[in-house]
Amino acid sequence: MSQENIIEVWNAVLNILEKQISESTFTTWILPLEPQYFDDNCFVIHTGQAFAVNLLRGNHYNQIASAVKTVLNKELEIKIIFDEELQKKIEKKSKARAAAAQQQEQTAKPKYDSLTQMQSSNLNLKYKFENFVVGSNNKLAYVAAQTVAQKPGEKYNPLYIYGGPGLGKTHIMQAIGHYIIKNTPELKVLFITAEEFVNDVVNALARGDEKTKNMNKFRKKYREVDVLLIDDIQLIAGKTRTEEEVFNTFNTLHGAGKQIVLTSDRTPKEIPSLSDRLISRFEWGLMADIQPPDIETRMAILSNLARDSNIEVPNNIIEFLATVYENNIRELEGAFNRVTAYASINETPLTVENVKKIINYEEKANVFSFDGIVNEVAAYYNVSPKDIKGSGRSAKIAEARQIAIYLCRELTKQSLPAIGNFFDKKHTTILYSYDKVKNELNTNYSLSHSVETIQKLLNK
């Protein structure tokens, strides 16, 4: 065989050696050898590992020599020579291999994964976009929430969602968090209720000696997130130190382009004693309100719940429940859960009669309804309910309307947006009317007399 075929020769030698030498020795010391040349006297092999020279000469010389003899049919002297260039080449290769392996490990295991983020975010798995029913009542908030979830920190910052109790504020806020964690797990999301935030401030301040350390820890916790979700922000009002921390946290995050989402039961301006600087910041981005759902949305919500439960809920029951609970989805859901729990325990069929008993419907009928109040006020003032709900401005109608609004708020404890929805007025108008009557009750005798009389009639 000629010199040109040295690679082939060497491969044949390797084939023989592989069977005779332990696997680890073979891969570590033999495989990296590079044959150089051979003539009639010797066969020269280079190694990049200095240690290999003595090791192979001492322990495997005969095996190599005999393998070469088998292939070339000649007895040659085997020369194993350390080659510095080859050493460098091997080192370079192994570094590249290590780097590639490390990179592969990183891509396979991202630094942040959704599960870890989920655990530190405080989010509730129940509140996702997928199970949020969109209706005309919450469309604006929904679209804004989606925008924020897709491009946090870019468009509406802060996003301020407000509306009455049980209308889905917490749900939609958490949905933003879930979406971000799922789609951009490298972003850190933190959900917190304003109440917890207040407690955190109080605790950090309370521990005498360690106050500074605790405050630093507190600040780190809130300022190192990419998306901060604070629920029921109205609860910080009047708590000076908390307001200050919210202010500083807000500035830091907003300045760094981090997303802030807030929910509240009212607009920033309507939060009593909230500092002006916070009011203005909360209004910087987008304010989106959620109104009570219309009947179709309520039915859609119930249909979804029915689909997810294993209980067959007839349509007429869904319709009935949807007509009874107009202003609070939490109550609507609560009633639905009671009904299905009952149905799963008892084998009696679900009829409207049964359902009425389950939800104490008779009792609820005694509770004041918006319509009942408006009808009573209208009768007292000798105007039509339509006038009261309309926008006529005569003094009599205006007073009747304000009293109706006041009583709706006082007697039903419904939210301003819910009342606003019923009267087809902005809830700021509702708040104005309510405050006006309330303030005048002590000074305006005729007004207080009318209010008392109507209330007595309603209680009959």
Nearest one of 84, 85, 15, 1 to 43, comparing CA atoms: 1
**Would you say 131 or 394 has its CB closer to ligand ADP?**
131
> According to the binding rule CB under 6 A, does residue 274 interact with ligand ADP?
no
SS3 state of residue 227: strand
Taking CB atoms, the residue at the shortest distance from ligand ADP is 168
**Cα distance between residue 79 and residue 46, in whole Å:** 8
- 194 contact choice in Mg ion, ligand ADP, none (CB below 5 to 8 Å, kind-dependent): none
Whole-number Å distance between alpha carbons of 179 and 160 = 18
Residue 166 binding ligand ADP, by CB under 6 A: yes
Question: Order of strands, edge to edge, in the sheet holding 34-38?
Answer: 34-38, 42-47, 77-82
Which range touches Mg ion (CB under 5 A), out of 162-170, 313-321, 390-398, 412-420?
Answer: 162-170
Q: 79: number of CA atoms within 13 Å, CB side?
A: 10
In whole angstroms, the minimum distance from the beta carbon of 172 to Mg ion comes to: 10
**Does residue 264 bind Mg ion (CB under 5 A)?**
no
Binding of ligand ADP at residue 330 (CB under 6 A)?
yes
Per CB under 5 A, 340 contacts Mg ion: no
Q: To the nearest whole angstrom, how small is the minimum distance from the Cβ of residue 321 to ligand ADP? A: 13
Among residues 171 and 409, whose Cβ is nearest to ligand ADP?
171
Work out which of 29, 38, 132, 381 binds ligand ADP, going by CB under 6 A: 132
Which region, judged by CB under 6 A, interacts with ligand ADP, from 52-60, 169-177, 346-354, 371-379?
169-177
Nearest to 158 by CA among 226, 274, 245, 260: 260
Beta carbon of residue 186, minimum distance to ligand ADP (angstroms, whole number):
27
The footprint of ligand ADP on this chain (CB under 6 A) covers a number of residues equal to 16
Q: Does 138 bind ligand ADP (CB under 6 A)?
A: yes
Bridge-based pairing of strands 34-38 and 42-47 is: antiparallel
In single-letter form, the type of residue at position 195 comes to E
Is 234 an interacting residue with respect to Mg ion (CB under 5 A)?
A: no
Of the pair 169, 258, the CB lying nearest Mg ion is at 169
Q: How many CA atoms lie within 13 A of 175 on its CB side?
A: 23
Q: What angle do CA 369, 375, 378 make, to 5 degrees?
A: 140
**Residue 132, binding choice from Mg ion, ligand ADP, none, Cβ under 5 to 8 Å by partner class:** ligand ADP
In angstroms, what is the minimal distance from the CB of 334 to ligand ADP?
Answer: 9
d(CA 165, CA 414): 8
Q: What is the spatial order of strands in the sheet that 286-290 belongs to?
A: 189-193, 227-231, 259-264, 159-163, 286-290
d(CA 163, CA 119): 28
Closer CB to ligand ADP, residue 71 or residue 329? 329
When the beta carbons of 333 and 410 are compared against ligand ADP, the nearer one is: 333
Least distance to ligand ADP, CB of residue 237, Å: 18
Which listed residue (13, 71, 144, 167) binds ligand ADP by CB under 6 A? 167
User: Which listed option, Mg ion, ligand ADP, none, makes contact with residue 11 (CB within 5 to 8 Å by class)?
Assistant: none
Nearer to ligand ADP, 169 or 258 (CB): 169
Note whether 356 binds ligand ADP by CB under 6 A: no
Nearer to ligand ADP, 303 or 354 (CB): 303
Q: Do 78 and 41 contact (CB within 8 A), yes or no?
A: no
Decide: is 301 part of the binding site for ligand ADP (CB under 6 A): yes
CA pair distance 218, 197, nearest whole angstrom? 10
Stretch that binds ligand ADP, among 23-31, 132-140, 307-315, 406-414 (CB under 6 A): 132-140
- Going through 201-244 in order, the beta strands assigned E by DSSP cover 227-231
218 and 168 Cβ atoms separated by less than 8 Å: no
The correct pick among 170, 259, 402, 414 for binding ligand ADP (CB under 6 A) is: 170
Report which residue's Cβ sits closest to Mg ion. 170
CA atoms of 64 and 62, how far apart (whole Å): 5
Q: Of 264 and 421, which CB lies nearer to Mg ion in the complex structure?
A: 264
CB of 414: closest distance to ligand ADP in angstroms? 13
- List the one residue from 121, 138, 170, 414 that touches Mg ion (CB under 5 A): 170
Binding span for ligand ADP by CB under 6 A among 14-22, 70-78, 128-136, 406-414: 128-136
> In Å, what is the CA distance from 233 to each residue of 237, 269, 271, 284?
8, 12, 9, 15
Return the number of the residue (196 or 333) whose C-beta is nearest ligand ADP. Answer: 333
Which backbone phi and psi does 136 adopt, to 5 degrees? -65, -20
Pick from 87, 89, 78, 83: which is nearest to 56 by CA?
78
Residue 161: CA count within 13 A, CB half-sphere = 32
d(CA 214, CA 203): 8
Is residue 133 near ligand ADP by the rule CB under 6 A?
yes
Could you give the CA distance from residue 315 to residue 303 in angstroms, rounded to a whole number?
8
C-alpha distances (whole Å) from 238 to each of 30, 88, 165, 199 are: 79, 70, 21, 14
Chain residues in the site for ligand ADP (CB under 6 A):
127, 131-133, 138, 165-171, 301, 329-330, 333
Chain residues in the site for Mg ion (CB under 5 A):
169-170
